[in-house]
């Protein structure tokens, strides 16, 4: 059983929820259902799971009055053996996007102290558009991502003692000797090629063959394409597919920003493809990094309208699509023989993955031919500019930025080096997972 960060979040919600239901959203197959189901079985005497896709008969239970008593009565009529153990029951409404009225009803269910309610779903922003009203004040919402590198290390058997030790390297990089850098660098390479989808991680744990991993990745990507086919229409459908291909082609390729014109060279315009890109973002298949005009606090007030980079939601599936259908690149990486400009492209996307899954909103700064900073994030203390180097190139842009704007510290992420000089901390790329 894969340990997930959400396990603690669910425990915290149970302790502090008050009159709140919990809504867990995220892309398909990131592990929402499994984690919530295990939480329910561990923490409640009675666990009631309703899946609106597998059992559409429950959709009609929300067709009439949405007060708690009516809904519970309607569920009981459709659920053999239904019973509520007062104060010790969790009702789990899965795939809630298929029943917009159930989303509205969370307000009334949250006020019923006899039971707790957790809902989950994917494509909520797309399929939930018919929701009568969002239960503001009665719903705590969180997004679940594929496994982070930290969760991947847990799956590989590394515990808190080891990861806690790694975190101390931010203040003392010298603790990372060559053997540790090599070990965790190799594990990061494995993570980049595997990604964080639970089915893929489990395939990697069961088998030493990349074929099994690649098959699981292909199956998930095909399901993503099937969702586009199923939940979009006509010209919109084709534009979404083309936009996704454009994002996969351009992610990490060093362009200043995502170019709508490159989706269909000579035929595509931003105004035609912006809705398609927005659809992919709402489906949580991509996430953005916003350009900023100036590295000032708060970064969100200095974003450049319409100037963004985009990254695919899972680094492993991205790797599988971009690297091709054979295991050649994977074997090259595992043999420590990887060279060439493609390495920088994958490292940028990998760094985005590590930062994004730690909850950081991503920004970047780019003055052509003068200054380019791959990422900027806001910590509790300051803006932190980050450069990613596949080798150990000098971070000249980072040094200029610190000097020009009085930013106290910058971070250079490389394949191997460690150290501190002139306000720049140099660490291996895997350390981004612990920021």
Q: What are phi and psi of 50, to 5 degrees?
A: -125, 120
Q: Is residue 271's pLDDT more than 80?
A: yes
Say if strands 383-388 and 371-378 run parallel, antiparallel, or are unpaired.
antiparallel
Angle at 224 between CA 34 and CA 260, to 5 degrees: 135
Mean pLDDT for 319-325 is: 91
* Element spanning 421, H or E: strand 419-421
Distances 37 to 9, 23, 49, 118, 295 between C-alpha atoms, Å: 14, 14, 8, 10, 43
Those residues with Cβ within 8 angstroms of residue 412's Cβ, 6 or more apart along the chain or in another chain: 386, 387, 389, 395, 398, 424, 425, 426, 427
Q: Is residue 242's pLDDT more than 90?
A: yes
Give the residue from 103, 94, 33 showing the smallest Cα distance to 62: 103
Question: Could you tell me if residue 306 is left (phi over 0), alpha (psi between -120 and 50 degrees) or otherwise beta?
Answer: left
Distances 415 to 144, 231, 274, 346 between C-alpha atoms, Å: 28, 41, 35, 12
The 10s digit of each residue's pLDDT in 109-155 is: 999 999 999 999 999 888 866 655 666 778 899 999 999 999 999 99
Q: Is residue 371's pLDDT more than 90?
A: no
Return the pLDDT at 54.
96
Angstrom distance (rounded) from CA 311 to CA 313: 6
CA atoms within 13 A on the CB side of 276: 25
Say if strands 116-121 and 139-143 run parallel, antiparallel, or are unpaired.
unpaired
Q: What are phi and psi of 426, to 5 degrees?
A: -105, 125
Token pair recorded at residue 302: 């200095």
Return the pLDDT at 342.
84
- Max distance between CA atoms of the chain, in angstroms, equals 69
- Cβ atoms within 10 Å of 217's Cβ, excluding its own: 25
The 10s digit of each residue's pLDDT in 54-86 is: 999 999 999 989 999 999 999 999 999 999 999
Those residues with Cβ within 8 angstroms of residue 23's Cβ, 6 or more apart along the chain or in another chain: 96, 103, 106, 118, 119, 120, 121, 124, 139, 140, 141, 142
Any idea of the CA torsion for 10, 15, 19, 21, to the nearest 10 degrees?
10
Write down the mean pLDDT value for the chain: 92
Distances 161 to 153, 155, 347 between C-alpha atoms, Å: 12, 15, 27
Q: Is residue 418's pLDDT more than 70?
A: yes
Domains, the chain, with CATH or none:
6-143 (3.40.50.300), 149-434 (no CATH)
Token pair recorded at residue 184: 């965790």
Distances 148 to 21, 144, 163, 292 between C-alpha atoms, Å: 25, 10, 13, 26
Which residue carries 């100037």 as its tokens?
307
| Percent of the chain topping pLDDT 70 | 96
Mean pLDDT for 229-251 is: 93
């Amino acid at each position: 059983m894969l340990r997930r960060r959400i396990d603690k979040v669910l425990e915290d919600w149970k302790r502090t929820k008050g009159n709140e239901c919990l809504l867990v959203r995220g892309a398909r197959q990131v592990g929402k259902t499994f984690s919530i189901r295990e939480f329910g079985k561990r923490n409640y005497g009675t666990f009631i799971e309703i899946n609106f896709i597998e059992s559409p008969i429950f959709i009609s239970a929300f067709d009439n009055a949405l007060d708690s008593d009516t809904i519970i009565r309607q569920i009981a009529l459709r659920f053999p053996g239904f019973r509520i153990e007062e104060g010790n029951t969790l009702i789990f409404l899965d795939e809630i996007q298929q029943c917009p009225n159930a989303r509205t009803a969370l307000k009334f269910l949250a006020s019923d102290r006899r039971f707790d309610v957790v809902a989950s779903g994917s494509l909520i922003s797309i399929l939930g558009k018919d929701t009568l009203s969002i239960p503001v004040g009665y719903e705590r919402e969180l997004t679940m991502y594929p496994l982070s590198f930290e969760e991947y290390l847990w799956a590989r058997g590394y515990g808190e003692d080891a990861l806690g030790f790694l975190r101390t390297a931010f203040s003392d990089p010298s603790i990372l000797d060559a053997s540790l850098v090599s070990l965790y660098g190799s594990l990061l390479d494995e993570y980049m090629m595997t990604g964080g989808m639970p089915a893929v991680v489990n395939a990697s744990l069961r088998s030493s063959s990349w074929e099994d991993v690649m098959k699981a990745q292909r199956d998930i990507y095909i399901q993503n394409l099937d969702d586009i086919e199923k939940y979009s229409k006509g010209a919109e459908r084709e534009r979404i597919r083309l936009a996704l291909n454009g994002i996969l082609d351009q992610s990490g390729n060093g362009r200043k920003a995502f170019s709508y014109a490159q989706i269909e060279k000579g035929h595509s315009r931003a105004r035609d493809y912006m809705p398609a890109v927005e659809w992919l973002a709402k489906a949580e298949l991509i996430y953005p990094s916003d350009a900023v005009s100036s590295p000032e606090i708060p970064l969100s007030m200095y974003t450049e309208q319409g100037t963004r980079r985009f990254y695919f939601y899972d680094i492993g599936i991205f790797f599988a699509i971009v690297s091709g259908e054979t295991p050649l690149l994977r074997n090259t990486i595992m043999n420590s023989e990887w060279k060439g400009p493609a390495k920088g492209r994958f490292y940028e996307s990998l760094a985005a993955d590590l930062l994004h899954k730690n909850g950081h909103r991503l920004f970047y700064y780019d003055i052509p031919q003068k200054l380019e900073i791959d990422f900027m994030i806001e910590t509790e203390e300051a803006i932190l500019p980050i450069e990613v180097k596949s080798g150990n190139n000098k971070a000249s842009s980072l040094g200029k930025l610190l000097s020009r704007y009085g930013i106290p510290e910058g971070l250079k992420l490389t394949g191997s080096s460690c150290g501190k000089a002139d306000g720049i901390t140099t660490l291996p790329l895997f350390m981004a997972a612990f920021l």
